[in-house]
Amino acid sequence: MDVAVSGIVAPGFEVVKAAFEENFTSRGELGAQVTIFYRGELVVDLVGGLKSSTKNSPFTSDTLVNVYSVGKAILGLLALQQIDQGAIALDEPLANFWPEFAAFGKQKTTVRMALCHQAGVPAIDQLLSNNDLEDWDTMACALANTKPWHEPGTAHAYHTNTYGHLIGEIVRRSSGRGVHLVLGDAMKDLGAEIYVGLAEDLIERCADIEFTSPLDPSTLQLGERTDESSMALRSYFNPPGYSSMGLVNTTRWRRCVVPSTNMHATAKGVATFYRALLQPNTLVSSQLLAEATSVQSEGFCPILGEVATFGLGFTPTTSRRPLGPNPNSFGHFGTGGALGFCDPTAQIAFGYVMNQVTPRWQSTRNAALRTATYGAVDALEHRSLI
């Protein structure tokens, strides 16, 4: 698709614009934004394409799009801030401030275990409806009353959707405020457009996600809790719309608060978030951030079906999920290819959002943009040495 790409490109970063344009011409992009800060300066802020394949509405610089698991890192940061403020401790049991969570032997589950996907509740026992998904207390209660699928702290399983209610309830219990309100205030202070539980004026700015699932959650029979296959199905489809299937692009979904799955953002908002993390002791203490971006859990994940590495909310760069070439790079991918990350060594903060979802998290589009970004930076640094 030939599209008009517009926005800012600093000298030396033209290769990123070329990669962004090629995403539309040969890699199936529909609508997208990419924003990059380098050494604190805005060097790329590009947009192009359409908000929907069925409407001739342009994807603009203020278009919001569902970024899926990119939101997990942002949600995790809200919990880290509560730790910094002394409201909770990293190795404190959740049951200390969320007594109901102690059910079924979960009394020793800590904040750290929750943040690095070791809490043992990637799926909920009680069969729930999409009406339940709209009620925070119902979801948090069902999660607390779930028997862990493994002993907390002994293994990990990606909490693909329950992470939102697990970490969100930690934030709510420790701050005394709904996670959507805590997020709203934090991002407003930062000047970053990242939201969950959208108001009407924000809903009007949303792009439609183009997402074809091979499964129809309304036809699935989840049945009784049994093995890891049952766990995986429930993690994605209990409630049926937990992963957005059947709900995505609806006002109902956009108003809902599922912060691991339906945060909406601009690329500039995501990059602005990561730019702040490059500044010592800005959003969170440098010591806690160093711990949060280091490996906390690593090994085979039965939900993802592959070896996975987790920090605390953030994921460190790995050969399987590469962010930057420098080992201290960290961030989070989202379903379909959305991506936010930063590289403290290269001083890069990166945000990319789009509405044409590809399977899982990796895509040739975000890979092309990352490669072009580092190519530009390498060339600039080489010239500065000559």
Q: How far apart are CA 87 and CA 99, in angstroms?
A: 16
Dihedral class, residue 41 (left if φ above 0, else alpha if ψ from -120 to 50, else beta): beta
Q: How far apart are CA 349 and CA 329, in angstroms?
A: 10
User: Which residues, listed in sequence order, are joined to residue 265 by a DSSP beta bridge?
Assistant: 65, 194
Closest CA to 64 of 211, 187, 194, 212: 194
**Token pair for residue 184?**
């709203």
Q: How far apart are CA 88 and CA 80, in angstroms?
A: 9
- Architecture per CATH, domain 71-255, reads as 3-Layer(aba) Sandwich (3.40)
pLDDT along the chain (386 residues), means of 10: 89 98 96 98 98 92 98 98 98 98 98 98 95 98 97 97 98 98 98 97 96 68 74 93 95 98 98 98 97 97 95 95 94 95 98 89 90 96 66
**pLDDT number for residue 309:** 97
Q: Does the N-terminal peptide bond of residue 316 adopt cis geometry, omega within 30 degrees of 0?
A: no
DSSP for 297-318 reads: EEEEETTTTEEEEE-SSSEE--
Four-CA torsion 251, 255, 260, 266, nearest 10 degrees: 80
By DSSP bridging, strand 264-265 and strand 315-316 are unpaired
**pLDDT number for residue 230:** 85
**pLDDT number for residue 386:** 53
Domain positions in the chain are: 71-255
DSSP state of 265: E
Q: Which segments within 186-260 are labelled E, that is strand?
A: 194-195
pTM of the entire predicted model = 0.96
**pLDDT number for residue 218:** 64
- Residue whose entry in the numeric block shows the structure tokens 């600093």: 10
**pLDDT number for residue 198:** 98
**Token pair for residue 385?**
């040495």
